[in-house]
Amino acid sequence: MNLPFFIAKRYLLAKKSHNLINIITWISIVGISVGAFALIVVLSAFNGLEKVVSSMSNRLTPDLQVAPVKGKTIDLATFPLERVKGVEGVDIAVPTITEDALFRANDKQHIGQVKGVGLDYQQVKRMDDVIVGEGGLLLSDGVYDFAVPGVGVAWHLGISVYSPYAMVRVYVPKRGNASQMSMENSFNSGVLTVQSVFSTDQDVDENMVMVPLEWLAELLEYEDKASNVELFLTSTADVTKVKKEVKAVLGEEFAVKDQQEQQETLYRVMRSEKWAVYVILTFILILATFNVVGSLSMLMIDKKKDTEILKAMGADNRLIKKIFMNEGMLIAVAGGIIGLLLGIIVVLLQQEFGFVKFGTGGNYVVDAYPVQLKLKEVLLTFATILVVGGTSAYLTVRHAMRQR
């Protein structure tokens, strides 16, 4: 039998000689419960937000992206595209070109990026989800080529896909020593019909226009060149494993990036905000443990006679310290478990039923506040409570024992 734990449990549950000690003990438990509840709910809310943002931005982001380590372009004549396509788990591999461009339509103009993609891009199933209206992504019908702007670009240019004459002119810088005196001598330009638009996240929608790769390569005077090669994997593929195999095929000349690496800034910002809030809530939890300090201090005074009896029976200071250390840990664990259970229940209910809504009348991506519960963050929250509670209990008991 663990004697210090047994006595500490009796002290926690038994009625004290002064009712104020009971009140402060329960205030300590409630304070830690609130801190644990807030931590798990807020971290789950950030997880849900990250999931929603990622799902939106990742609709146009390939599973893997191959880019040259040096230089701006990939030479497709020497690039082992067929070997990359042969890697198990790779469904579609598409060369792409991305370049800054000026767009003009209806006497309006807009600066953004033009992205040339191979026609295999039309076979990527996730592209169907980003196209506004009926039908999937259409870049070419075998006779005519088409431009597919983001909804933001279409709005800036006054383009309506319902108009049979909707067209956009694309200007890209000429290669070499182009004249700076006129648009005609400084830029190459071409015109494409617009039959559809896409919608993902605001930054992409307001900047990008997709066009056929060969059309843009001709406009840029690229010959068998691409900016990147985008890889879309099968639904059962292990991204980490496929990434490793593709790197083995390509060698050190090319960088292979997964979705998080392609959007490193976005993920870094979201995670920084999340952990900043975690630190703030941890400080609030530390403040809540001051009640534990008060409760333990008063309990040690109240149980002074008991400790004297234990010493007379042969107990040393080490045993006395363990009793009150266990008492402090029991208060922290009780509060932590209660707070975590309540937080998990609230998060799961919100995840399942979406009780907390964004409101009515707004054009929201989701109707209810997104949340996502992760086991590692439940464990992190509980570990935080143990560390904070254990530290406060240790410091309190050590200080009190020195005063005796």
Instruction: Name the least confident of 125-129, 250-254, 350-354.
Output: 125-129
Spatial contact of 396 and 328, defined as CB atoms under 8 Å apart: yes
The per-residue pLDDT for 180 is: 56
Same domain, 21 and 82: no
* Pairing of the two strands 74-75 and 146-149: unpaired
Backbone angles phi, psi at 351, to 5 degrees: -65, -40
Cα(343)–Cα(187) distance, integer angstroms: 59
Q: What is the mean pLDDT of residues 22-26?
A: 79
Q: What percent of the chain has pLDDT over 70?
A: 90
pLDDT at position 62 over 80: yes
User: In the listed set 215, 234, 259, which residue is the last one of a domain according to the structure?
Assistant: 259
What pLDDT was estimated at residue 179? 53
Q: What is the pTM of this model?
A: 0.73
Domain that holds residue 149: 64-259
If asked whether residues 179 and 315 sit together in one domain, one would say no
Considering the domain architecture, whether residues 80 and 164 belong to the same structural domain is answered as yes
Q: What's the pLDDT score for residue 96?
A: 93
Give first-to-last CA distance, the chain, whole Å.
Answer: 28
Domain check: are 76 and 221 in the same one?
Answer: yes
CA separation, residue 251 to residues 88, 100, 242, 248, 260 (Å) = 17, 29, 14, 6, 21
Dump pLDDT digits (tens) for 141-174: 888 899 999 999 999 999 887 777 789 999 998 8
If one compares 135 and 150, the residue with the highest pLDDT of the two is 150
> pLDDT-based confidence at 55, cuts 50/70/90?
confident
Q: For 342, phi and psi rounded to 5 degrees?
A: -60, -45
Residue 14's pLDDT is what?
67
Do residues 11 and 134 both lie within one domain?
no
**Residues 49 and 73 grouped into a single domain:** no
Ranking 13-27, 28-42, 67-81, 348-362 by mean pLDDT, the lowest is 13-27
Which of 213, 230, 259 lies at the terminal end of a domain, its last residue? 259
Better-predicted residue by pLDDT, 205 or 368:
205
| pLDDT at residue number 83 | 92
Q: CA–CA separation, 181 vs 183, rounded Å?
A: 7
32, 24 Cβ separation under 8 angstroms: no
Residues 184 and 102 in one domain: yes
Instruction: State yes or no: pLDDT of 202 exceeds 60.
Output: yes
Report DSSP letters for 159-216, one per residue.
--TTSTT-EEEEEEEPSSS--SS-HHHHEEEEEEEE--EE-S-HHHHTTEEEEEHHHH
| The pLDDT of residue 87 | 92
Q: Are 144 and 193 spatial neighbours (Cβ–Cβ below 8 Å)?
A: yes
Q: Which of 51-65, 175-189, 247-261 has the lowest mean pLDDT?
A: 175-189
Q: Are residues 167 and 81 in the same domain?
A: yes
Looking at per-residue pLDDT, the higher value among 402 and 138 belongs to: 138
* Residues 302-331, mean pLDDT to the nearest whole number: 77
219 in the same domain as 285: no
Pairing label, strands 197-198, 131-132: antiparallel
Give the pLDDT score at 364. 58
In this structure, the answer to whether residues 118 and 160 fall within a common structural domain is yes
Number of domains in the chain: 2
Residues 116, 220 share a domain: yes
Average pLDDT over residues 175-185: 59
Comparison of pLDDT for 212 and 55, the residue scoring more:
212
Q: Domain end: 259, 284, 306, which one?
A: 259
Give the burial class of 40: count Cβ atoms within 10 A of its Cβ; 0-12 exposed, 13-18 middle, 19 or more buried. Answer: buried
Across-strand partners of 113? 100, 208
* Model confidence pLDDT, tens digit, residues 69-118: 888 889 988 999 999 999 999 999 999 999 999 999 988 999 999 999 98
Asked if 280 and 246 sit in the same domain, the reply is no
pLDDT confidence band for 259 (50 / 70 / 90): confident
CA distance 211 to 198: 12
